[in-house]
Structure 1
Amino acid sequence: MTEDFGHFVDIRPGRDAESLNLSFWPGHLPLKQRWRNNGLSADFLGDYVTTFFPLDDDIPETRHRQAEIRGAVSYIANELLENAMKFHDAGQPEPITILSLDDEQIVFQESNGASADNAAAFRAFIARLREADPGELYLEQLERNALSEDTAGLGYLTMINDYGAELAWRFEAGHDGGYRVITQVTLKL
């Protein structure tokens, strides 16, 4: 069984598109050790993508555009990796993977395993995100953060509000009642 939320695009890398797949098996190393590498991996992806947007000394705006793209890619990749590490169900045989690129967009696609309970809670969050105004949800979450350490969803809201990202999700039934959850974030160029 497969269930999609949002405009989910099947990525089929070909000769006309660049893709980079990084896979992490969270069970291989302790989560705290892997967590330290998330920023490094995200920055690597930001640097990697900027090579497709070369600087042109005759056009000063290219430096700003390159920095803007690098920042967006690094932020989104870091958020997706952190979410995947926090919510990954080690009992599900799924690696965490990420990133595709073409002339019109950058597509981040993170997948990880989730228990049935975590998948249900995440579906409820997605429904709320899709029904409400992202700007209002962002302000609500900031207020909640002032009262507790519950930051659930703040990264997704920042992606939408600050970077104009489009989000979609796919839930695929997996082993032992669990799911493979794929989060897709698209940045239009």
Structure 2
Amino acid sequence: MVEDFGQTAASNGGDATRFRLKLMAKPLDLSWHHCGITSDFIGEYFSRACGGQIDDVDARHSISYMINEILENAVKFRHGGNIEIHSSLQADTFEIQITNCVDRQTATRFQELLTELLRREPGELLLERIEENALDPDSSGSGLGLLTLMSDYGAELGWSFASERVSEGLELTTYASLRLS
């Protein structure tokens, strides 16, 4: 069974510049410090492929930020296994898909959060969550990173939860699309 939330369709075609990377769970012992390095590398790679029509410094920053936010979530909430990154750039549209495994309890909590994120206006919910986090510094899982991507960067996000490809938990694929300027 597959359950989708948000925008999960890719629009970049076969002639897009593509990059794939698999972060192996072992022997690397995946952790947060891998996210920044990976994000910066992919951001640099695609900013050089922009071809002069797009500000490459802005493209690098936007791509790196988006990947880092999504990859940190994948590392933080993963239930073992590898993390796969599929990215592409066509004209001014950058797309990424990050796949990891999550346990069923994490998936349920995340789906509840996604339902709220997708039914509300991102900018309004972002301000609300910032205020809530200021009052409770120990809060986590508020979706601030995702809301920032949607509100400040105009990213289109989607999530697909699939059970048939993994023996335990669910396979989560996060989709993100960003127009570069």
State the TM-score, normalized to the length of structure 2.
0.88
Match of 1:149 among 134, 138, 162: 138
CA drift of 1:79 comes to 0.8
CA drift of 1:149 comes to 3.2
Q: Return the alpha-carbon distance in structure 1 between the equivalents of residues 170 and 108 of structure 2.
A: 10
SS in 2 for 1:22: strand
SS in 2 for 1:110: strand
SS in 1 for 2:28: coil
Query: 2:41 matched to which residue of 1?
Result: 44
Are the equivalent residues in 2 in contact too, given 1:3–1:172 (CA < 8 A)?
A: yes
User: What amino acid sits opposite 1:68 in the alignment?
Assistant: D
Query: 2:50 matched to which residue of 1?
Result: 53
User: What amino acid sits opposite 1:49 in the alignment?
Assistant: F
Q: Return the alpha-carbon distance in structure 2 between the equivalents of residues 82 and 97 of structure 1.
A: 12
Q: Return the alpha-carbon distance in structure 2 between the equivalents of residues 76 and 175 of structure 1.
A: 26
Aligned length: 177
SS in 2 for 1:52: coil
Query: Kindly, what percent of the aligned residue pairs are identical?
Result: 34
Which residues of structure 2 form unaligned runs of 5+?
Answer: none
What are the Cα deviations for residues 40-78 of structure 1, in whole angstroms up to 9, with x where unaligned? 11111111111122348xxxxx5xx22211111010111
Closer/same/farther in 2, CA of residues 12 and 162 from structure 1, 3 Å limit: closer
Q: Return the alpha-carbon distance in structure 2 between the equivalents of residues 17 and 108 of structure 1.
A: 12
Is 1:181 aligned with 2:172?
yes
Aligned-residue CA RMSD (Å): 2.1
Match of 1:166 among 152, 156, 161: 156
Q: Return the alpha-carbon distance in structure 1 between the equivalents of residues 88 and 27 of structure 2.
A: 25
Query: 2:121 matched to which residue of 1?
Result: 133
Q: Return the alpha-carbon distance in structure 1 between the equivalents of residues 155 and 92 of structure 2.
A: 13
SS in 2 for 1:150: coil
- Structure with greater proportional helix content: 1
Q: Return the alpha-carbon distance in structure 1 between the equivalents of residues 111 and 139 of structure 2.
A: 18
Larger radius of gyration, structure 1 or 2?
1
State the TM-score, normalized to the length of structure 1.
0.84
Query: 1:96 matched to which residue of 2?
Result: 84
Query: 1:3 matched to which residue of 2?
Result: 3
Q: Return the alpha-carbon distance in structure 2 between the equivalents of residues 175 and 66 of structure 1.
A: 38
User: What amino acid sits opposite 1:50 in the alignment?
Assistant: S
Which residues of structure 1 form unaligned runs of 5+?
Answer: 57-61
User: What amino acid sits opposite 2:2 in the alignment?
Assistant: T
Match of 1:68 among 47, 58, 70: 58
